[in-house]
């Protein structure tokens, strides 16, 4: 268990309601849309609770019989907060998901921490193949702190090192992906 258990902001608020309290809700269309062409690969990056919307994307695609799904998940410890770990392992075993997980606190004391963006840099050739050659859509979900910028930098690194672009061209490529709706960020602080 974590030293201090994490609770979702909304979940904790809802749990504090008493019987008889009135709750008004509304539904809004989300930011995430899937590619019209179901053969288009997707790369989902969802560290921590950011994996929840990524789970919905992956489940919908798997249900439709689409296997070109990649998930980069990150958390502190495989034994403490590996959300849906067994589900991801099963989908990977079935060939329906390429799954990469970074457990930032599982290494030896004093060792460098590994985050999702580090795995993406390790996989730069594959990231370029998916994004640059196959036209993958990328979804980033989670904390709005440093992670989204670091993930964008990892994608730009792949474009530069394996796509033969300059640093500026790689950054512009990422920006163009966002303008085209191929890179979607649903992050919160």
Split at pLDDT 50, 70, 90, the class of 1 is: low
Tokens of 55: 């789970």
How many residues would you count in the chain? 189
Helices H / strands E in the chain, number of each: 7, 5
End-to-end CA distance of the chain: 24
Dihedrals phi, psi of 54, to nearest 5 degrees: -70, -35
Asked if residue 184 lies in contact with residue 138, where contact means CB atoms within 8 angstroms, the answer is yes
In the prediction, which pLDDT does 9 show?
Answer: 79
Strands (E), the chain: 42-45, 69-75, 98-103, 137-143, 183-188
Compute the average pLDDT of residues 47-71: 96
Tokens of 49: 């609770």
Q: In what order do the strands lie in the sheet with 98-103?
A: 98-103, 69-75, 42-45, 137-143, 183-188
Asked if residue 46 lies in contact with residue 141, where contact means CB atoms within 8 angstroms, the answer is yes
36-50 pLDDT, tens digit per residue, is 999 999 999 999 989
| Integer Cα distance of 59 and 162 in angstroms | 30
Q: Residue 98: pLDDT above 90?
A: yes
């Amino acid at each position: 268990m974590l030293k201090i258990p994490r609770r979702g902001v909304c979940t904790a608020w809802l749990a504090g309601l008493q019987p008889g309290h009135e709750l008004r809700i509304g539904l809004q269309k989300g930011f995430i849309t899937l590619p019209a062409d179901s053969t288009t690969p997707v790369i989902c990056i969802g560290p921590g609770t950011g994996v929840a919307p990524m789970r919905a994307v992956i489940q919908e695609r798997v249900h439709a019989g689409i296997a070109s799904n990649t998930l980069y998940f990150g958390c502190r410890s495989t034994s403490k907060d590996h959300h849906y770990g067994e589900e991801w392992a099963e989908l990977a075993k079935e060939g329906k998901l390429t799954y990469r997980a970074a457990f930032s606190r599982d290494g030896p004391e004093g060792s460098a921490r590994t985050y999702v963006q580090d795995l993406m840099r390790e996989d730069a050739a594959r990231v370029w193949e998916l994004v640059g050659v196959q036209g993958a859509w990328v979804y980033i979900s989670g904390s709005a702190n440093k992670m989204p910028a670091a993930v964008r930098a990892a994608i730009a690194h792949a474009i530069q090192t394996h796509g033969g672009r300059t640093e500026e061209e790689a950054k512009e490529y990422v920006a163009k992906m966002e303008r085209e709706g191929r890179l979607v960020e649903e992050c919160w602080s």
